[in-house]
Amino acid sequence: MITIIDYGTGNVSALGNILKNLKIEFQISSDTNSILNADKYILPGVGSFDNAMQSLYNSNMINVLQREVIENKKHILGICIGMQILSNQSEEGSQKGLGWIPGYVKKFDKKKLISLKLPLPHMGWNSLTVRFDSHPLLKDINFEEGFYFLHNYFFCPEYLESSIAISNYGINFTCAVSNNNIHGVQFHPEKSHQNGIQLLKNFAFL
Choosing from 68, 75, 80, 183, the catalytic residue is: 80
Rounded Cα distance between 128 and 135, Å, is 14
- Residue 154 is classified by DSSP as E
H-helix segments, 74-127: 81-84, 110-115
Quick check: is 175 catalytic?
A: no
3-class DSSP assignment, residue 157: strand
Q: Does the annotation count 188 as an active-site position?
A: yes
The catalytically annotated residue of 68, 92, 122, 190 is 190
92 is catalytic: no
Q: Of these residues, 122, 151, 183, 188, which one is catalytic?
A: 188
Encode 16-39: b = buried (16+ Cβ within 10 Å), e = exposed. bebbeeeebebebbeebebbeebe
- Rounded CA-CA distance 3/26 in Å is 6
Q: How many Cα atoms are found within 13 Å in the side-chain-facing hemisphere of 62?
A: 17
Active site residues: 80, 188, 190
